Amino acid sequence: MAPMLEVRDLAKTYEMDGKPLEVLKDVSLSLDEGDLVALVGKSGSGKSTFLHVVGTLDSPTAGRVFFGGVDLFSRSESELARFRNDTVGFVFQSHHLLPEFTALENVMMPALIRRASRSATESRARELLKAVGLGDRLPHRPTELSGGEQQRVAIARALVLRPNLLLADEPTGNLDEATGEEVFQVLLELNRTENISAIVVTHSERLSARMPRRMRLAGGRLVGEA
Amino acid sequence: MTSDLATHPSTALGMSGQHGNVSPTAPAPGDSARAPRLPAPRFSRLAALFIDLALLLLLPGVSLAVFAKPMARLAPNPFSGDALPPARWFFLLLSIPLAFQVAQWILFAATGRTFGAAIVGIGWERPDGRRPGILRALVSRSLPILIFGSALTLLEPNSRAIWVRAGLALVVIGVLLLDALGILLRRRSMRDVASGLFAYARDLDKPRAFEAPRFSGRASAISMLGVLGALAVSSLVYVLFSHFNIESTSIDVPSVAAGVSIPLSLVIVGALAAFAARRFVVGELALTALLTGLLAYEAMLTKVVAVPALQAFEVAGFLDWSLYALSAYFGIILCLILGSALGFMVASDRGADASTKFERLVARRHLRLKLAHWLELAVIATLLPIVIYGVFIWPVRTVWRLMKGRRGAKPLPPTVFMALLTIVGVMFGVTSLNVVLGVMGGFERDLKQKILGTNAHGVVHRSIGDFDEWKKVEAKVRSVPGIKAVSPFILAEVMITTNDEVAGSVIKGIDPDSATSVTDIRKYIGKDEGSLTYLAHPELIPSDDDLPQGVLGGGTSTSGGSGKILPPPQPTTPKPVLPGIILGREMALQLHVWVGDQVTVMNPIGDLGPTGPVPRSQVFRVAAIFVSGMYEYDSKYAYITIPAAQKFFRMGQAVTGLEVRCDNPDEARPLMRQVRETLGGFPYETKDWGQMNENLFSALRLERVVMAILLSFQVLIASICVIATLVMLVVEKRKEVATLKAMGAREGSIMKLFVLEGLIIGGIGAFYGSAAGFLFCELIKKFGVGLDPQVYYITRLPVVIQPASFVAVAGIAMLLVFVATLYPARRGGSISPAEGFREE
Ligand SMILES: Nc1ncnc2c1ncn2[C@@H]1O[C@H](COP(=O)(O)OP(=O)(O)OP(=O)(O)O)[C@@H](O)[C@H]1O
Ligand SMILES: [Mg+2]
């Protein structure tokens, strides 16, 4: 059976002042359902770029990304939008919470985009926020939350629709050890119970060591299991 | 970790690089940047396509216009006497554009190009090899031809005009030569063009991620056929409605239904096209518009020159006609674009998605709107007494509150402030439009009332012969249901004189008893200004009994050649009984007469004497003065009794016609038609009050339309503010758009969101504007704005509050705002996540 996610010969080149900057050169990867991958690499090695391309937020310069056998970048914009909504959960390195909305509403947003009913969504969002330790911060806006709190809201938001694939960019980067551990436990738990696959970028050796698969990005290539 | 599939076809994705170039072969990954590839075709293929289709369509028309005349001289007009058989003549005409085209091809072949590329190559590139852009290219290519063509249609077809036409044709040929020169000077090789063309043809309609297909054949076919279909549907609707014969009094139901069906079906067509392409199909619609426009234009051009009947357009009303055509054309485009925008916003790959739930939520939050504010708004609007507070004080305080920021957090972004300003702009526009339309509607209503007061609701005439049998006709007319009263009348133009004044007048013989049931004449006679009863009983008229002789003497002396009717002064009778006459106040003032005074009525075409017509005159005594409030009536009209008029004009028993009053004046038109039918048509003719005063009402309506258009500019400017606000908003929310898209919001959904934001802004403005306009109108009504009655002939500014007009104004404002939102919303929708996140 074909893998759930397959990345083939992916290359991404940015043009800076007319000079090409090859961030990703030849990245291939396949991921099955329930796989949990740690992605490590030096700052600027292209981890975030990789996640963006896999999540169809950016287009590759060359190469393909298949999901469930479908060549993603041959699809129309609105099909990709649906793919992101149904299948992918993002945790961005800089959170990207919507400033006009409360923590609860931010978490509910993907479901609202899907046009799910508010009431059903709300209970799920409350649950998730409680799970990441923010049960009492529901009506707060992002500006009224600390960086770590924002990050946890972002994690709850990524999980609200039970995605098949979680793309998390340093989800514990701003958290102290104890809280980071808690969030990490939530991830592991979800991976176990709901069979969510995830690619998690992390700088923490301690956390990556506990993940079943590890990859390192260096020189624009994935250099095996770290 | 490498893929288990060893090989796969070329990795070419047919997808964009940074510049949207289409590379026929994809370079191997890794060395993409340095790999030598075909230089990107540096021209806008679409522009080229448009231009050349335009040329292909225009040239026949243009050449036909140029050569039709000399041709016709060569071979006489096929529509009349024909030296050449029509078919030959037609082919001859066809050969001209063909020759034109072939000449063009030869031109390009001579410069070393193949035909296909030559057609596309025309006019899109400047000698320095830089791309002129679609607009520039279009303008530079089509403008001379369009101007030329338009000039042609305006020319009168005479011999000198042919030279002008020939000159203009030279201009066009000159443009073509210049193009050829430009292409000659161009250094780029032919192969670039060809390869670019092939790549383009191959990629048509191929879906690409992040970059929607540039051109959808399906969508353009739908829109093109749809436009024709809409026209077909409208005629179908017309036939259907005429068939079912729905009765209506004031509107022509089939025409209106057909008229409404066109924009509706065009909107649907636009939506279908967007659905087919899952895109906001601007390019395809532009193509459709261009082609249909050119077709129509060419049809017009050709016909204007070739068909004598249509040459009337050249002489009379051509401007009007072309203005109508132009606005209809823009209407078609607008409807298509509106439909396409709606379709795109609704089309998702799961089918239709018309929900705006989450978009509303985000839009409201962007604009910092809360339910509480809406409730506040609603309460204020419904309670009239505090509308003043609501319109003038509350917004100021709300703005103030909002500007200071909420919960001590940071102040509002500038876009919210702009949004508020825009609301005020829309509000002013809507307010003034409403007030002005209310006042003008008031004038119209006033006029209508006055016309209905002095005039009957309808008249019955006899087109030939004397109307002797009017008593029988009167009975018949009275029997028609819906007719309230009938009264005979006599109408003639006379001069009324006193000792030293003279005035032209329309004298009307009436039957004092029945006339009051047909017109409001009784109401117009003031308390101390005589009475209608004096008309029938002139002996009751109070007069200065001391001076009957003197006045009478004066009266007779003015009348010069005294007629036979004039009763000779009888010194034995102290007070001769003169027939009574009722004058309008303006005329009475002009003649310096009052109730009881005498005037002389002269019929300029009286008797035929040996030296031509001899005026006939008679002395009347003023029985009453009336004030209808219409200057035209008060200065012109005079009333006498029917017998007096019959005697004076020597009409025997005949009258001019019958005046009719209906139960409902708005039903007058169909009712009068019915009366005519009852009378058996010819020689009887009927007119209703609208027809009798056609000019007046159409002038008023025109004035109203012009005012509405002028004031709409204010709303237009406000909707430009909407554009500015939304553009800023889009820039401000780039990152959030990216976030929403990352969470799976569609492009159409984002567009919906910004459209909604614009509509909220416009909606609040329109709402406030309507409320303020209503308030203003009420105030004008209540307290009144005095007018100089000498100038306006009414004492107070009339105002009428018509809900329909308020709704229409708000609707127009919303429509304009909606159109204004499209561009920024489209921009907002097309922000890609990668772009949006790049900001930081
Ligand atoms: N839009 C862009 N335009 C040009 N260069 C870019 C763009 N986005 C990223 N880069 C460059 O690509 C490289 C990789 O960036 P990326 O954000 O993927 O790194 P990263 O591995 O996530 O680093 P970090 O661990 O610091 O988050 C960087 O050198 C960056 O400057
Ligand atoms: Mg990063």
Chain A contact present for B357, CB below 8 A: yes
Task: Find all residues with CB under 8 Å of B760, minimum gap 6, and list them.
Answer: B363, B364, B367, B369
Interface contacts (A, B; CB < 8 Å): 167
For the record, the structure tokens of A204 come out as 């923490």
Q: Are B490 and B642 in contact (CB under 8 A)?
A: yes
Beta-carbon separation of A58 and B834 below 8 A: yes
Under the banding of pLDDT at 50, 70 and 90, the label for residue B170 is low
Angle at B15 between CA B14 and CA B21, to 5 degrees: 95
A16 Cβ inside 6 Å of ligand 1 = yes
Chain A contact present for B666, CB below 8 A: no
Q: Looking up tokens 């991620």, which residue turns up?
A: B209
Chain A contact present for B209, CB below 8 A: yes
Q: Distance (Å) from the C-alpha of residue A102 to the closest C-alpha of chain B?
A: 11
Domain boundaries, chain A: 5-225
Per CATH, the number for A5-225 is 3.40.50.300
Chain B partners of A74 at a C-beta cutoff of 8 Å?
13, 207-209
Alpha carbon of B133 to those of A146, B108, B130, B145, B666: distances in Å?
A: 49, 22, 9, 19, 57
Q: Are B303 and B325 in contact (CB under 8 A)?
A: no
Q: Distance (Å) from the C-alpha of residue A119 to the closest C-alpha of chain B?
A: 14
Neighbours of B718 (CB within 10 A): 28
Of A64, A49, A89, A93, which is closest to residue A6 (Cα–Cα)?
A64
Distance CA A171, CA A133 (A): 15
B32 vs A61, A83, A110: nearest CB: A61
A41 Cβ inside 6 Å of ligand 1 = yes
Read off the pLDDT of each residue in B774-799 and give the average, rounded to a whole number.
74
Q: Distance (Å) from the C-alpha of residue A151 to the closest C-alpha of chain B?
A: 14
Residue-wise pLDDT tens digits, B80-96:
443 444 434 444 444 44
Beta-carbon separation of B17 and A22 below 8 A: no
> Using CB atoms and an 8 Å cut-off, which of residues 9-68 of chain B contact chain A?
11, 13, 15-18, 26-30, 32-34
Task: Find all residues with CB under 8 Å of B471, minimum gap 6, and list them.
Answer: none
Read off the pLDDT of each residue in B694-712 and give the average, rounded to a whole number.
74
Beta-carbon separation of B358 and A113 below 8 A: yes
pLDDT at B35: 33
Q: Mind giving me the DSSP string for B642-665? A: HHHHHHHHT-TT-BSEEEEEES-G
- List own/partner pairs for B589-592 with CB under 8 A and 24 or more apart: B590/B501, B590/B503, B590/B635, B591/B496, B591/B497, B591/B498, B591/B501, B591/B503, B592/B498, B592/B500, B592/B501
Chain A partners of B281 at a C-beta cutoff of 8 Å?
none
Distance CA B334, CA B322 (A): 18
A139 Cβ inside 6 Å of ligand 1 = no
Chain A contact present for B747, CB below 8 A: yes
Q: SS3 for B291?
A: helix
For the record, the structure tokens of B563 come out as 């007629």
Of B495, B491, B536, which is closest to residue B512 (Cα–Cα)?
B536
Beta-carbon separation of A100 and B749 below 8 A: no
Alpha helix (H) residue ranges in chain A: 47-54, 77-87, 103-113, 118-131, 147-159, 177-194, 205-209
Ligand 1 pocket: which of A23, A54, A167 to mutate (most atoms within 8 A of CB): A23
Output the furthest CA–CA distance in chain A (Å, rounded).
51
Q: How far is the CA of A47 from the centre of ligand 1 (A)?
A: 8
Residue bearing the CA closest to ligand 1, atom 3: A14
Distance CA B324, CA B342 (A): 27
> Residue B461 phi/psi, 5° resolution?
-115, 170
Give the range with max mean pLDDT: B196-210, B263-277, B528-542: B263-277
A44 Cβ inside 6 Å of ligand 1 = yes
List beta partners, residue B680: none
Residue-wise pLDDT tens digits, A160-203:
998 999 999 988 877 888 888 888 888 888 888 888 899 999 88
Q: Are B782 and B742 in contact (CB under 8 A)?
A: no
For the record, the structure tokens of B69 come out as 């005349």
Give the range with max mean pLDDT: A82-91, B229-238, B423-432, B724-733: A82-91
Read off the pLDDT of each residue in B15-36 and give the average, rounded to a whole number.
36
Domain boundaries, chain B: 42-204, 215-354, 364-449+697-838, 456-550+573-689
Among all residues of chain A, which has the CA nearest to that of B33? A20
Chain A contact present for B203, CB below 8 A: no
Atom from ligand 1 closest to the CA of residue B838: 1
Of A182, A203, A199, which is closest to residue A89 (Cα–Cα)?
A199
pLDDT at B152: 44
Of B367, B517, B444, B291, which is closest to residue B821 (Cα–Cα)?
B367
- List own/partner pairs for B22-26 with CB under 8 A and 24 or more apart: B22/B196, B22/B199, B22/B200, B22/B203, B23/B199, B24/B195, B24/B198, B24/B199, B26/A62
Q: SS3 for B232?
A: helix
A14 Cβ inside 6 Å of ligand 1 = yes
User: Which of B84-93, B269-278, B402-411 has the least mean pLDDT?
Assistant: B84-93
Q: State which H helix or E strand residue A100 sits in.
A: none
Most B CBs within 10 Å: which of A53, A59, A213, A217, as the mutation test of the B interface?
A59
For the record, the structure tokens of B467 come out as 């109307």
Q: Are A134 and A103 in contact (CB under 8 A)?
A: yes
Under the banding of pLDDT at 50, 70 and 90, the label for residue B636 is confident
Residue bearing the CA closest to ligand 1, atom 14: A46
> Using CB atoms and an 8 Å cut-off, which of residues 145-184 of chain A contact chain B?
157
B747 vs A78, A88, A224: nearest CB: A78
A23 Cβ inside 6 Å of ligand 1 = yes
Output the furthest CA–CA distance in chain B (Å, rounded).
138
Beta-carbon separation of A96 and B739 below 8 A: yes
Chain A contact present for B416, CB below 8 A: no
A21 Cβ inside 6 Å of ligand 1 = yes
Beta-carbon separation of B209 and A77 below 8 A: yes
Read off the pLDDT of each residue in B222-247 and give the average, rounded to a whole number.
71
Task: Find all residues with CB under 8 Å of B723, minimum gap 6, and list them.
Answer: B820, B821, B823, B824
Distance CA B502, CA B599 (A): 10
B209 vs A28, A80, A92: nearest CB: A80
Task: Find all residues with CB under 8 Å of A140, minimum gap 6, and list them.
Answer: A102, A103
- CA B188, distance to chain mean position in Å, is 50
Q: Distance (Å) from the C-alpha of residue B11 to the closest C-alpha of chain A?
A: 6
Of A113, A111, A146, A151, which is closest to residue A129 (Cα–Cα)?
A151
Beta-carbon separation of B358 and A29 below 8 A: no
Query: Of all residues in chain A, what percent carry a pLDDT higher than 70?
Result: 98
Neighbours of B782 (CB within 10 A): 8
Count CA atoms closer than 13 A to A148's CA, side-chain side. 15
A11 vs B29, B347, B357: nearest CB: B29
Beta-carbon separation of B209 and A76 below 8 A: yes
Chain A contact present for B743, CB below 8 A: yes
> Residue A28 phi/psi, 5° resolution?
-125, 150
Which of residues B745 and A174 earns the better pLDDT score?
A: B745
Give the range with max mean pLDDT: B243-247, B686-690, B808-812: B808-812
- For residue B475, is it left (φ>0), alpha (ψ between -120 and 50) or beta? alpha
Residue bearing the CA closest to ligand 1, atom 31: A44
Q: How far does chain A reach from its first CA to its final CA, in angstroms?
A: 26
User: Which of A218-222, B294-298, B385-389 has the least mean pLDDT?
Assistant: B385-389
Q: How far is the CA of B735 from the centre of ligand 2 (A)?
A: 17
* Mean pLDDT, chain B, integer: 67
pLDDT at B508: 86
Q: Are B538 and B545 in contact (CB under 8 A)?
A: no
For the record, the structure tokens of B713 come out as 């500019």
A113 vs B207, B278, B740: nearest CB: B740
Which of residues B707 and B493 earns the better pLDDT score?
A: B493
A49 Cβ inside 6 Å of ligand 1 = yes
Distance CA B13, CA B815 (A): 41
Q: Which amino acid is at B609?
A: G
Which of residues B44 and B407 earns the better pLDDT score?
A: B407
SS3 content of chain A, % helix, strand, coil (to 5): 40, 25, 35
Which of residues B214 and B129 earns the better pLDDT score?
A: B214
Q: Are B426 and B762 in contact (CB under 8 A)?
A: yes
Give the range with max mean pLDDT: A205-219, B118-132, B142-156: A205-219
Q: How far is the CA of A43 from the centre of ligand 1 (A)?
A: 8
Q: Are B683 and B638 in contact (CB under 8 A)?
A: no
> Residue A75 phi/psi, 5° resolution?
-95, 160
Q: Is the pLDDT of residue A116 over 50?
A: yes
Distance CA B541, CA B524 (A): 18
A110 vs B2, B278, B743: nearest CB: B743
Residue bearing the CA closest to ligand 1, atom 4: A14
Chain A contact present for B365, CB below 8 A: yes
Alpha carbon of B833 to those of A77, A164, A219, B6, B137: distances in Å?
A: 11, 21, 25, 33, 33
Count CA atoms closer than 13 A to B555's CA, side-chain side. 28
- Whether residue B683 has a cis bond before it, omega within 30° of 0: yes
When computed from its CA atoms, the radius of gyration of chain B, rounded to whole angstroms, is 38
pLDDT at A95: 84
Q: SS3 for B131?
A: coil
Distance CA B196, CA A134 (A): 57
